[in-house]
Amino acid sequence: MRCLFLFGTLQHRPLLDAVLGHSNDVTIAAAVLPGFAVQAVAEGPFPTIMAQDGARAEGAVISGLTPDDHARLGFYEAAFGYALVAVTLENGDTAEAYFPQSDMWTPQGAWSLDDWIRDWGELSVRAATEVMHYLHSKRPHEVAGMFPMIRARAWSQINAKQSRHGAMTLMGDTQIDAVRRPYAHYFALEEYDLRHQRFDGTMTPQVERAVFRAPDAALVLPYDPVRDCVMLVEQMRMGPLARGDRALWQLEPIAGRLDPGEAPEAAARREAVEEAGLEMGELIAVAETYCSPGNSSEFYYIYVGLADLPERAAGLGGEEAEDEDIRSHILPFEQLMQMCDDLLVANAPLVMAAYWLDRHRARLRKA
């Protein structure tokens, strides 16, 4: 019988169940691998294992796995560059364990399973559920390339539980019969077969709906209350290109997706530095809103951020590693409002933030 020694995140039973696709009975027992140490890594919230004289890697042995279980575990581990090696446990039993490639990660001290479960357990289970959806459609290296966005989508699902809206709307029932992903790469497209409750209490027949799956994003319009001016950023956008718009370069607030575990305010501040080299002062919430709830999961946290905006603050920016090419502009506030009035701004969050600022500008300038 094949036995696996687990030293890392798969000791968390909900994650193991997500990878296996079931919660059937398997035998799990505590075990120790001598001569090895489990270490946190600098590259992410997960552990590695490394040879170390006198060390004892505490973990668990799992047995009773089917050939399909082993295939699913192999797919999941291969997506992260881990492969099976034979090991001998402290009690003399032999087993297999998924080890990373040599020098793949940078060790960074002791790793705690309990701390990981507290901070990353739920996100990782949600991410693993999407990873395993690609078992028969993508190769492990393709999933590895998608994994940052998979984790970002999982983080958005966790954020969704904290949404403030919904006080006046129906909290009705939905029944999801099937979910398909005809496209998944950087973004994802999902098709649902579902039924949902009507306002009269009955259920609809089964309907097919599609939704664009994207992570949450933070957007900030920098405003200088002393100079009474704003900063806008400009970059080429795919939406206008696909629509056939003559104006492919768009004026926008500073914006970017939330990294897994990142608060919206932190994302807004990080993006301001990355896109415009701008350190933000106070961030004031404008709205928390879907960009287009009829067809997209993308959710916006929109802010006005107080900042020092001299003319020299405008220039070129963006993260080269993300192929960003961004130009920033400093505009008098009244010019921005005139552009909004003349329908010259095609970015909905920018229009929203501009009109919010028009309402609160006098208070901000006085303060």
Residue 322 annotated to the active site: yes
State how far the alpha carbon of 117 is from the alpha carbons of 45, 101, 253, 262, in Å: 10, 24, 36, 17
The encoded tokens of residue 321 equal: 């590693």
Phi then psi dihedrals of residue 150, to 5 deg: -60, -45
Q: Tell me how long the chain is.
A: 367
| DSSP element (H, E) containing 318 | none
Q: How many CB atoms lie within 10 A of CB 107?
A: 17
Which residues on neighbouring strands pair with residue 211, listed in sequence order? 190
Q: Are strands 94-100 and 44-63 parallel, antiparallel or unpaired?
A: unpaired
275, 311, 319, 322: the catalytic one is: 322
Rounded Cα distance between 323 and 234, Å, is: 14
3-state secondary structure of 234: strand
For the annotated catalytic residues, the residue numbers are 322
